[in-house]
Chains A and B, each alone.
Chain A
Amino acid sequence: MKLDTTGLEMAAPLWGSHSELVDGFSAAPSFELPITTDFDGFQKEAVQMVKPAKGTTTLAFIFKEGVMVAADSRASMGGYISSQSVKKIIEINPYMLGTMAGGAADCQFWHRNLGIKCRLHELANKRRISVTGASKLLANILYSYRGMGLSVGTMIAGWDETGPGLYYVDSEGGRLKGMRFSVGSGSPYAYGVLDNGYRYDMSVEEAAELARRAIYHATFRDGASGGVASVYYVGPNGWKKLSGDDVGELHYKYYPVMPSMVEQAMVEVAGA
């Protein structure tokens, strides 16, 4: 019996011909490569020149009721804030979410590509793809582009037949299954708050508040994170956006300005 090895084929044919853009999506899109003696040096220069937007805080955790996913919305290019309203939580399909950290274009493109592959899987197999399967598809693609300068640090969160699922996938080719992750320049701060307040049996409101606080604290201390803290919940019926709050306003909500107590009021003195 001949084994089906199509899944093992290289997703990115390095020197293959430039495929038609309107072609099928079964193979990963092939990319033109510059003809240069020093590919790495060229890529370093190109990255310096285009300076992809990065710097972020994203987090996700599994708890009793499902998966909670949260992220900030700032994109920075070097020291310049290029946008305060980037969508870092990408809706792959109605029951799966992906988070964006690293190169914005890389994350947007490959998450959309993953959504297409998931849909093709559904049509071919008459059932939804599992979170395990989806994360594996993405990880295999990123692994095949390993070393070429993609910058992707993403979490795939979803609810499938086995219950809630959460995987961390990055452009080095790593793929980890876990209960709690935070990715990005603000992640150390988010982990501090998240790890401290986490319990498996929280209600949806408590978990949402924990996620919101963790993002807020990360944006407070990390210059590359800010904007709007979005919180999504993934449950048995799919994902639902729970809140989107400006972190500046969250600050004054958590730490309201108290009018200071006046001990002795100054009295006007008439004349000298």
Chain B
Amino acid sequence: MPKQQANWSPYDNNGGSCVAIAGADYCVIAADTRMSTGYNILTRDYSKICKLADKCVMASSGFQADVKALQKHLAARHLIYQHQHNKQMSCPAMAQLLSNTLYYKRFFPYYSFNVLGGLDNEGKGCVFTYDAVGSYEKVGYSSQGSGSTLIMPFLDNQLKSPSPLLLPVQDAVTPLAEAEAVDLVKTVFASASERDIYTGDKLEIVVINADGIRREYMDLRKD
């Protein structure tokens, strides 16, 4: 019998884009709410953002079933951590946990492109960006998903932060104020919706600062 190719793939791409920007004392995480498959829209109202810990939020685009499984896994591990250590996980700790969780499925990956945003132990904003198998780095800003190739160059232009590898060390967080960063995110998604078919409908913005977590919505193009 000739070798047969699989006519079923366990993966699908539900599209969408996510962005995160780190500031001196805040962090902005945003994602659109469109969920699609192929050329069809499944729903216009799906949240890609998940709160993992008090000061730690993750936005993921890609295959939402894998994203949901990943979120549940991390929430469970966070609960165990809280039982064992009697405190919430810090953002850098959650970042390492996410990296290891992704790599443990190295040979059957989570099809999930994540950005993690939050405040570190000193209250400074931090953003971590990932690939699908767990390689990660701390950055000043990042975008993932179908619109990332459109969004990243714009963020580079507006926020170009010095590389953390330069010597003498320079700070990576943006000097922008919180309101300006939120405005920038809205502009960026409005542009991305114009040119990326998988990005649109509604924008969900989450802002983390010393006062807590705040959520905001903005309408995007529905076509």
Binding site for B on A (CB under 8 A): 21, 29, 31-34, 36, 38, 41-43, 45-46, 49-50, 52-53, 73, 77, 80, 82-87, 103-109, 148-150, 227-228, 230, 241-246
B133 close to chain A: CB less than 8 A: yes
**Residue contact A103 to B133, C-beta cutoff 8 Å:** yes
A82-B131, A105-B135 are known contacts. Are A32 and B109 too (CB-CB below 8 A)?
A: no
Q: Which residue of A lies closest to B156 (CB)?
A: A84
Pairwise interchain contact A241-B167, C-beta atoms closer than 8 A: yes
The answer, yes or no, to whether B100 is at the interface (CB within 8 Å) is yes
Is there an interface contact between A246 and B166, defined as CB atoms closer than 8 Å? yes
Q: Is B139 interfacial (CB 8 A cutoff)? A: yes
Of A36, A150, A241, which one neighbours B6 at CB under 8 angstroms?
Answer: A36
Decide if A87 touches B104 in the complex (CB within 8 Å): no
B166's nearest neighbour on chain A, judged by CB, is A244
Contact flag A85-B137 (CB < 8 Å), given A50-B132, A244-B167, A246-B166 = yes
In-complex Cβ contact of B139 among A85, A108, A149 (8 A): A85
**Inside 8 A of B164's CB, which chain A residues have their CB?**
85
Chain B: CB-nearest residue to A45: B9
User: When the two chains form their complex, are residues A83 and B129 in contact, meaning their CB atoms are under 8 A apart?
Assistant: yes
CB distance from A117 to the nearest CB of B (A): 16
Which of B10, B108, B135, B163 interacts with A108 by CB under 8 Å? Answer: B135
- Nearest-neighbour CB distance to chain A for B123, whole angstroms, equals 23
A32 partner residues in chain B, CB cutoff 8 A: 104-105, 107-108
Complex contacts, A242 vs chain B, CB 8 Å: 167
Contact assessment for A85 and B106 in the assembled complex, using a CB-CB cutoff below 8 Å: no
A85-B165, A244-B166 known; A105+B106 contact, CB < 8 A = yes
Q: Which of chain B's residues have a CB closer than 8 A to the CB of A53?
A: 131, 135
Give the dominant DSSP class at A's interface: mixed
Q: How far is the CB of B17 from chain A (nearest CB, A)?
A: 14
**What is the CB-to-nearest-CB distance from A249 to chain B, in angstroms, rounded to a whole number?**
10
Instruction: Quote the shortest CB–CB distance from B143 to chain A (angstroms).
Output: 11
Distance in angstroms between the alpha carbons of A245 and B165 in the assembled complex: 8
Interchain CB contact under 8 A, B106 and A41: no
Q: Does B82 contact A (CB under 8 A)?
A: no
In Å, the complex CA distance between A21 and B74 comes to 12
| Contact A109/B100 with A50-B131, A50-B132, A228-B166 known, Cβ cut-off 8 Å | yes
Contacting A41 at CB < 8 Å: which of B5, B136, B137? B5
* A126 → chain B closest CB, angstroms: 28
A31:B106 contact, CB within 8 angstroms: yes
Q: Closest approach, in angstroms, between the C-beta of A143 and any C-beta of chain B?
A: 16
List CB contacts (< 8 Å) of B97-133 with chain A: 99-100, 102-109, 111, 129, 131-133
* List of A residues within 8 angstroms of B132 by Cβ: 49-50
Q: A77-B131, A108-B134, A245-B167 are in contact. List 19 more A-B contacts (CB 8 A).
A: A31-B104, A31-B105, A43-B107, A50-B109, A52-B131, A73-B163, A80-B149, A85-B137, A85-B163, A103-B135, A104-B131, A105-B99, A105-B103, A105-B131, A108-B99, A228-B163, A242-B167, A244-B165, A245-B166
Q: Interface digits, B149-169 against A, CB 8 Å rule (1 contact, 0 not)?
A: 100000000000001111100
Whether, in the assembled complex, B217 has its beta carbon less than 8 Å from a beta carbon of chain A, the answer is: no
A46 touches B165 (CB 8 A): no
Asked if B133 and A34 make an inter-chain contact with CB atoms under 8 angstroms apart, the answer reads no
Contact A50 B133 (CB under 8 A): yes
Check A46–B109 contact: CB distance below 8 A: yes
What separation, in Å, do the CA atoms of A109 and B105 have in the docked complex?
Answer: 12
Inter-chain contact A243/B167, CB cutoff 8 Å? yes
